[in-house]
Structure 1
Amino acid sequence: MLNIGLLGASWIAPQAIIDPASIVQGTRIAAVAARDLGKSQTYADTYGIPTAYGSYDDLLADPALDAIYISLPPAYHAVWTIRALQAGKHVICEKPTAMTLTEAQAMVDVAKSTGKRLIEAFHSRYHPAFLTCMDWVASGDIGDVQSMTAHFGVGFPDDGVKNQYRPELGGGTIMDMGCYPLHWVRQLAGGAITDAKVETTLAESGVDLTMASELTFDNGVTAKISSSMHPDTEFDAYLEVTGTKGTITFQNPLVPHQGGALSKTVDGVTTDAPVSTVTTYCYQLKAIAEALQTGDVLPTEAAGLLDQQAEIDRLYDAASLSHLRITTQDYT
C-alpha cells in the first residue's frame, strides 16, 4: 500500500489525488497537514482522511507515510520538497516544480542523494489520449512534424489573494498555465528548443497575465504556444500538430476526460481516436504507484523535470521577466 500524505489542504487535491486514490488500487490518502489544525481536521473530516496535522513538520515525521503530495504555491515547493525527501518520503509535486532551474536542480540532487523519487505532476502526460497523440507522431502517421500550435487559458480576476497574481509566490500565466502547452509541444517536437520569442502583458500586480511565444527546435520544428488568465478569457485548451503528410487536432489535451477530442487527418481522411473518460489524475497516480514499485523512470521526473524547468526559465528570460521568480525561501 502506498500511503500518501497531503502537505497543504488545497483546493486541487480532491480531484488531483484524493479521488484518484479511492480508485487506483494500492494507494491511500493517509494524512493531511495545514498550518492550522482546525483547518486540516475539517479538511480530513470532509474527505475521509484518517489523520490531520497542524504543521507540515508533523506530517513529514509520520513514519507510516511513503509519499508526500505537495500543492503549495511554487515559491514553497523547493523548501518543502527537500524536507520531505530528507524525511525519507517520495514526493509528488504540483507543477511547476520550482521557481527556477537552480531550485529544481537542488531538489533533484536531494532526491538522488536520499534515494527517493521526485515526480512533477503533469497529469495530462499520462492520459491514453495524449499517449495516442505521441504514438501517431512517433510512427510517422502525419509525416515529419513541421509546426505546432498549443494554448491553455482560463480567466479569473485578482481578488488580492490568488497565488497566480502574487509574484512572490510564483504567480503568472507562464508558471500556472503556459507550462502546459510548453510541456505538450516539448513531448512531441523530437528536439530541443534553441530559440524563443515571447510577448506578454502584465497584471497590475506585475505578473504575466497573457503569454504568446514562438519556439524553434534544433530539428527545424516550430511551435506557437500561448496562455492567458485575463479575466475575460474563457476556458480553452487545444493542440494542433502539422506534419508533411497530415495534421493532428487535439481539443482539450489538458483534461481530455472532460469532453476532449483527438483526431488525425491524412490525405483528406480523418480518423478519430477514442478518448477515455477516466481522469488524467487517475492515470497519473497509477503510473506513479507502478513506477515506485518497478523503479522505472517516469517522463515527469529527473531529466524530464529539469528540462521542463529550464524552458520555463527560457520563456521568462526572453520576456525580460526573470525578476518575477526570485524567491526568498531558504531551500538549502
Structure 2
Amino acid sequence: MSSTQAASVLRLGILGGANIARQFTRDVRPSQTVRVVAVASRSDDNAKTFAEANGIERWFGSYDALLASPDIDAVYIPLPNSLHAEWAIKAAEHGKHILCEKPLALNRDEALRMFDAADRHGVMLLEAFPYYFQPQTAAMMTLIGEGAIGSVRAIQASFGFTVGNPGANIRMKPELGGGALLDAGSYPLSLIRLVMGSAPQRVDAVATWADSNVDISLMATLIYADGRRAQVSCSMDAANHRFATIIGTQGTIDTEYLNHTSDQTTGHPYGYLPSQLRVRRGIPNSVPFETIASESGSGFFFAAESFARMIATHDSAAIEFYAQVSLDNAATLAAIIESARSEKPVTL
C-alpha cells in the first residue's frame, strides 16, 4: 500500500498527455483531496511541455519512471484502450492505485488480470466513467431504489457523435481498441448495467463498418434471464446525442447522464450544459414529468474525489461493486462486438 493512508491529499500522476488528460487536470485542480503532481510521456520534452502548459510541478520522460516515484500515490490512465491493461497492471505492481479511463479493458480476461493485479498488490482499481459520480446519477439510482417507477422492465440508451479527423483519429484504429462501441457505446452500456444490476443473458447486435474495419455505428438488443430487455445505440457518424429512457411498471425516467454538467444554459467557460433528469411517477401519459435538480459540476472532479475517498476510507465494498460492474461491462462489450461481426446472437 502506498503512503496515501498517512496523507490528507491523494497525489496523482497522469500517464500520457492526451486532450482528456488536459481536461482532467484542469477540472480536478479545485479539489482539496486530490492533487495532480506529475505527468509522464514517452519523451522528456513532451512531458515537460505538457506539465508547464497545465501547471503540473513534475514530469517524467517515461511511464515507468513515473511509476517508480515514491512520491506518487495513484495514477490516472487516459491512454488508448489497447494500453489500459498493460499500464494498469504495471501501476499495481508499483503499488499505485489506479483510476483508469473507460472502457477499462478490451475483454473480460483483460479486466480480470487487472483486478487480480490490484488485489495482489493491495491497491484500488476504478473505471473512470465521470457520469457515474455525478450527483444526478446518485439521484437517478435513488429514484429507482425507492420504487418511483416500480420495477424496471426495459431501458433504451444511446450516445453518439461525429468523429473528428477520421484519417488520424485513434477511434478509427482497430489495433488501438477503436470503434463506436468501445468509445461511445461503453457509456450507455454502463448505464444499463448500473440500472439492471446484472449482465444480460444474450445479446444481438448489428453494426456498420468503417474502411478501417472498426464499427462506425452499432445497435444491440440485450436480453436478461428474467425477461427484461435493453437496447443500446452508439455511433461516430451522427450528430451528438446522449439520452436514456428507463421504463418501469409504474413510471419512466428520462436522463441525459452527462459527464460534466452546469447550471448555465449558455456561457459556461468549458461549454458544459445542464443535464436533464426527469421522472413520471405513474402509468398514464397524463401524469406530468417532474424535473429532478442536482448539484452540477465536472464529472472528472466528482470521480477523482470519490476515488480519493474510497482509498482514504478503505472502502473495499464500493470498489468491489464497481469491479463487478466493470467485469460485466467488459464481458458484454465483447459479446456485442462478436454478435455484430458474426451477425448472430451471442450468449454470455
Task: Please say if residues 206 and 340 of structure 2, whose CA atoms lie closer than 8 Å, have aligned partners that are also in contact.
Answer: yes
Pick which of 180-189 and 156-165 moved more. Answer: 156-165
Q: Tell whether 2:80 aligns with 1:73.
A: yes
Q: 1:61 offset after TM fit, Å?
A: 1.1
The Cα shift of 1:3 comes to 0.7
CA contact (8 A) 1:237 1:254 kept: no
Percent identical among aligned pairs is 32
Pairing 1:265–2:280 present:
yes
Cα deviation code 1:160-211 (max 9, x no counterpart): 3211100000001111010110000111124431111101001110001001
Normalization by structure 2: what TM-score? 0.88
**Aligned residue identity for 1:274:** A
Aligned length: 319
Whether the 8 Å CA contact 2:157–2:231 is kept in 1: the answer is yes
Q: Any conservation in 2 of the 1:2–1:27 contact (CA below 8 Å)?
A: yes
Displacement, 1:77?
1.0
Deviates more, 1:19-28 or 1:196-205: 19-28
Distance 1:235 1:116 in 2: 37
Alignment of 1:105-254 (within 5 A): 105-230=112-237, 233-254=238-259
> Residue 68 of structure 1: CA displacement?
0.8
Distance 1:34 1:170 in 2: 20
Residue 330 of structure 1: aligned partner:
none
* Matched letter for residue 334 of structure 2: D
2:21 to 13, 20, 29: 13
Match of 2:42 in 1: 35
Q: Is the 8 A contact 2:137 2:257 kept in 1?
A: no
Q: 1:89 aligns with which of 96, 106, 121?
A: 96
CA distance in 2, matches of 1:316, 1:217: 18
**Where does structure 1 lack aligned partners over 5 or more consecutive residues?**
323-332
1 CA distance for matches of 2:172 and 2:199? 30
- Map of 1:284 onto structure 2: 303
Question: How far apart are residue 317 of structure 1 and its match?
Answer: 1.8
CA distance in 2, matches of 1:197, 1:254: 27
Whether 1:320 aligns to 2:341 is yes
Q: CA-atom RMSD, angstroms?
A: 1.7
Structure 2: runs of 5 or more not aligned = 1-8, 263-272, 344-348
1:20-67 Cα shifts (integer Å, max 9, x gaps): 331221211111111121111111011110011111111111110000
- Are the equivalent residues in 1 in contact too, given 2:260–2:297 (CA < 8 A)? no
CA distance, structure 1, for counterparts of residue 94 and residue 330 of structure 2: 24
